[in-house]
C-alpha cells in the first residue's frame, strides 16, 4: 500500500468547498487530548466565534461532531417528543430530508410545499401555521438542491404568535449571505463546516435559544440520542468539562482557523465577496446561452443551478470538466437529476479566478 496522492481540484460543486490553505495547515498541528486545558480553550474560542458568525448570544451554541446532517438530527432529536406536531416547509431536496428526519424523531409531520427553484410566500406559511398549530416549524434558508434562498426576516415573529419554535437549516447560508439568528428570532439553527466557513466536512455548528432549550428541559423522556443530546454536550463545552465523547481534535483546529478567517474578513465583506463573484458567474453563464433554474427573486450567491440544455449529456460535461480541467461541479438531486448542474461559490472558493477558470472550461466543454 502506498501513501495517497489526491489530485488538486477546483471544488465548485455544492460542497465541500476548497478550504483556505491556513485551515488545512491548522489540521496538521500536534494532537492534544480532548480534555487538555489548551484544547478546551480552543473549544471555548470556537464557541465564541460561532456566536459571532451566527449573530447570536445563545448560550447553547457549539459544533456537533458530524456533518451538516448531524446538525439537522441534533436539532430535531432534542426539540421533538413523540407525537409533537411539526410543520416542514419544503421547496427542495433538503426540505424533504428535514421532513424525513422529523418523522424519524417520531413527530406528527405536515409538509407544505413550494415549487423547486422558488421560495415560499409568507401567506402560505402563515396559513399553514394557523391550520396546523405545530410545536416546531422547519425551513431551509438556502436550498442547495435548487439555488433558492428563503427570506427569513419575519418568520420568527410569525412563529412566536403561534407558539411555534422556528428551526432553520443554514448549512449553505452561514457566512455566504446574511443570517441574523437573534434579530430574526430563530429558535434553533444548524450548519456545516464545509461550505461558507471554508473548512473540511465533519463538524456541524448548532445554536439554540432559551425558548428552544426550555422545550428540551421540559421533555418527559430524555433525548433518544445520547451523542446528540444538547444538554449533555454543553457539559463538555464548559469551563469544567466532563467527558462526553472524544472530540475530533484536528477538525476543531480547522474550524477554529476557518472562523478566525471569517471574522478577520468581516461578515459584511464576506457576503459582498460572495455576491460579487456570483454576479460575474451569472453574467458569464448567461453569455454562454445557459439559463438558471431558480426564480430571479430568490437566487443566491453560494449555489447556482443551471438548466442543462437539451441534447447535452450531464455526465459527459461533468466528467470532461473534472478530468480535463480539474473542476468539480454538482449534478441535480432527486427530480432534478440529469436536468441541472449545481455550481458552488462558497467560502475561500468564492473567487474571481475560480469563476474565470470555470467559465473558460465550460465554454470549451460546451463547444
Ligand atoms: N442541508 C443542506 C441545505 C445541505 O446543502 C446539506 C448538504 O449539502 C445538508 C443539509 C446535509 O449536510 P451534510 O451533507 O454535510 O451532512
Atom of ligand 1 nearest to the CA of 194: 15
Q: How far is the CA of 95 from the centre of ligand 1 (A)?
A: 10
pLDDT (tens digit per residue) in 135-161: 999 999 999 999 999 999 999 999 999
Q: Which residues pair with 305 in a beta bridge?
A: 342
Mutate to test the pocket of ligand 1, among 11, 16, 172 (most ligand atoms within 8 A of CB): 172
The chain-wide mean pLDDT, for the chain, equals 98
Residue-wise pLDDT tens digits, 35-88: 999 999 999 999 999 999 999 999 999 999 999 999 999 999 999 999 999 999
pLDDT tens-place string over residues 243-290: 999 999 999 999 999 999 999 999 999 999 999 999 999 999 999 999
Q: Give the pLDDT of residue 6.
A: 97
How far, in Å, from the CA of 171 to the mean position of ligand 1?
6
349: preceding bond cis by omega (within 30 degrees) = no
In sequence order, what are the residues at sequence separation of 6 or more whose Cβ sits closer than 8 angstroms to the Cβ of residue 33?
Answer: 39
Per-residue model confidence (pLDDT) at position 72? 98
Residue 345 in contact with residue 274, Cβ under 8 Å? yes
Supply the residue whose CA is at minimum distance from atom 12 of ligand 1.
Answer: 68
Overall average pLDDT of the 288-316 stretch:
97
71 CB within 6 A, ligand 1: no
pTM over 0.75: yes
Q: Which atom of ligand 1 is found nearest the CA of 66?
A: 16
Residue with the three cell numbers 422558488: 118
Task: Assess whether the C-beta atom of 14 lies below 6 angstroms from ligand 1.
Answer: yes
- What are the backbone dihedrals phi and psi of residue 323, each rounded to the nearest 5 degrees, phi first? -75, -35
**Confidence (pLDDT) at 327:** 98
The set of cell numbers assigned to 151 is 427570506
* pLDDT the model gives residue 304: 98
**Cα(240) to centroid(ligand 1), Å:** 32
pLDDT tens sequence across 311-338: 999 999 999 999 999 999 999 999 999 9
| 59 three-class SS | coil
Amino acid 197: pLDDT: 98
Q: How far apart (Å, rounded) are the C-alpha atoms in residues 336 and 215? A: 37
Cβ atoms of residues 228 and 190 within 8 Å: no
- Residues 243, 247, 249, 250: what is their CA dihedral angle, to the nearest 10 degrees? 180
Q: Whole-angstrom Cα distance, residue 306 to residue 340?
A: 5
Which residue of 144, 251, 343 sits with most ligand 1 atoms within 8 Å of its CB, as the best mutation to test the pocket? 144
Strand 203-208 to 188-190 pairing: antiparallel
Cell numbers describing residue 69: 446532517
Amino acid at each position: 500500500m502506498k501513501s495517497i496522492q489526491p489530485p488538486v481540484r477546483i471544488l465548485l460543486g455544492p460542497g465541500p468547498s476548497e478550504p483556505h490553505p491556513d485551515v488545512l495547515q491548522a489540521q496538521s498541528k500536534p494532537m492534544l487530548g480532548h480534555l487538555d486545558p489548551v484544547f478546551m480553550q480552543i473549544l471555548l474560542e470556537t464557541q465564541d466565534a460561532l456566536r459571532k458568525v451566527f449573530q447570536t448570544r445563545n448560550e447553547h451554541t457549539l459544533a456537533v461532531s458530524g456533518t451538516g446532517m448531524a446538525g439537522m438530527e441534533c436539532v430535531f432529536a432534542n426539540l421533538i417528543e413523540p407525537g409533537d406536531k411539526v410543520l416542514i416547509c419544503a421547496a427542495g431536496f433538503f426540505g424533504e430530508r428535514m421532513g424525513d428526519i422529523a418523522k424519524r424523531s417520531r413527530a406528527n409531520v405536515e409538509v407544505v410545499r413550494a415549487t423547486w427553484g422558488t421560495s415560499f410566500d409568507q401567506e402560505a406559511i402563515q396559513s399553514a401555521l394557523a391550520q396546523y398549530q405545530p410545536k416546531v416549524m422547519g425551513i431551509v434558508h438556502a436550498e442547495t438542491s435548487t439555488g433558492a434562498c428563503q427570506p427569513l426576516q419575519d418568520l420568527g415573529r410569525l412563529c412566536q404568535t403561534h407558539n411555534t419554535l422556528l428551526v432553520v437549516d443554514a448549512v449553505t447560508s452561514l457566512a455566504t449571505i446574511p443570517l441574523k439568528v437573534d434579530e430574526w428570532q430563530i429558535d434553533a439553527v444548524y450548519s456545516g463546516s464545509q461550505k461558507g466557513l471554508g473548512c473540511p466536512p465533519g463538524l456541524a455548528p448548532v445554536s439554540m435559544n432559551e425558548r428552544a432549550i426550555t422545550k428540551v428541559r421540559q421533555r418527559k423522556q430524555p433525548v433518544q440520542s445520547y451523542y446528540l443530546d444538547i444538554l449533555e454536550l454543553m457539559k463538555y463545552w464548559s469551563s469544567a468539562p466532563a467527558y462526553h465523547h472524544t472530540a475530533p481534535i484536528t477538525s476543531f483546529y480547522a474550524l477554529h482557523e476557518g472562523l478566525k478567517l471569517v471574522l478577520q474578513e468581516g461578515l459584511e465583506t464576506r457576503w459582498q465577496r460572495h455576491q460579487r463573484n456570483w454576479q460575474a458567474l451569472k453574467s458569464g453563464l448567461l453569455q454562454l446561452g445557459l439559463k438558471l433554474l431558480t426564480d430571479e427573486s430568490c437566487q443566491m450567491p453560494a449555489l447556482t443551478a443551471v438548466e442543462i440544455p437539451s441534447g447535452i449529456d450531464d455526465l459527459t460535461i461533468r466528467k470532461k470538466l473534472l478530468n480535463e480541467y480539474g473542476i468539480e461541479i454538482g449534478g441535480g438531486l432527486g427530480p432534478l437529476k440529469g436536468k441541472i448542474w449545481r455550481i458552488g461559490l462558497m467560502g475561500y472558493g468564492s473567487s474571481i479566478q475560480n469563476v474565470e477558470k470555470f467559465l473558460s472550461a465550460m465554454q470549451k466543454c460546451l463547444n
